[in-house]
Amino acid sequence: MGTLSYIKNFIKDRDVAAITPSSSYLVKRVCRWINFDAPCTIVEYGPGDGVFSRYIARNMHPDSSLVLIENNDGFVEDLRSLEEQYEQVTVVHDRAENVQSIMDSLGLEAADYFLSGIPFSFLDDDIKDDLLQDTFDGLYDDGKFLVYQNYNHMEKPLRRHFKHVEKEYVLINIPPMFAYEARKQ
């Protein structure tokens, strides 16, 4: 896993959009917005080889659940070992755009957190807007959408959908990332 796996998958699939996983620094900065002391449901879009997912699975409350929605075949294969290791983890081989039907099929009423590293800039505006609305609708009232992107193109669309948006520029990552905490309320 790691950089080699990213390069291999990136060559075949432009949606991978990175040749190396996020840094452990970025993972910790974004995950500090999650309350790991309480049981919760977390849905991750585009986990790649699972650099965020592993951190979350290790730190989350034992009664929490983590759903990983990944579209790339190679990464889905990598993520299966995480699913075997943690019974709270479910891997779904699908696109984030189908989140509503995925949650329905898993019997999930709502999530406390959505986390996303998918390249939103690759999505058409109407598809991006639908995904933001579905994510907003899929959250409990006190839920959050956590996003990281390599340039600041998500601030405006997030502010259109979510009540409070915090932004941080994280330099210790290749490339540096804009991280956002978007709160439903």
Report the interface residues with ligand SAM, using CB under 6 A: 15-18, 21-22, 45-48, 51-52, 69-72, 75, 95-97, 117-119
In whole angstroms, how close is the CB of 145 to ligand SAM at the nearest point?
Answer: 15
User: Residue 50: left if φ>0, alpha if ψ -120 to 50, beta else—which one?
Assistant: left
DSSP-assigned states of every residue in 104-170: HHHT---EEEEEE-S-GGGS-HHHHHHHHHHHHHTEEEEEEEEEEESSS-SHHHHHHH-SEEEEEEE
In whole angstroms, how close is the CB of 163 to ligand SAM at the nearest point?
Answer: 25
Q: Are 53 and 68 in contact (CB under 8 A)?
A: yes
Q: Which is nearer to ligand SAM, 14 or 185 (CB)?
A: 14
In whole angstroms, how close is the CB of 38 to ligand SAM at the nearest point?
Answer: 23
Q: Which is nearer to ligand SAM, 70 or 112 (CB)?
A: 70
Angle at 185 between CA 180 and CA 107, to 5 degrees: 90
Q: Which is nearer to ligand SAM, 21 or 143 (CB)?
A: 21
In whole angstroms, how close is the CB of 150 to ligand SAM at the nearest point?
Answer: 8
Comparing every residue's Cβ against ligand SAM, the nearest one is 46
In whole angstroms, how close is the CB of 7 to ligand SAM at the nearest point?
Answer: 12
Q: How far apart are the first and last CA of the chain?
A: 38
The rounded distance, in Å, linking the Cα atoms of 16 and 73 is 11
Q: Are 52 and 27 in contact (CB under 8 A)?
A: yes
Q: Which is nearer to ligand SAM, 32 or 164 (CB)?
A: 32
Q: Which is nearer to ligand SAM, 75 or 162 (CB)?
A: 75
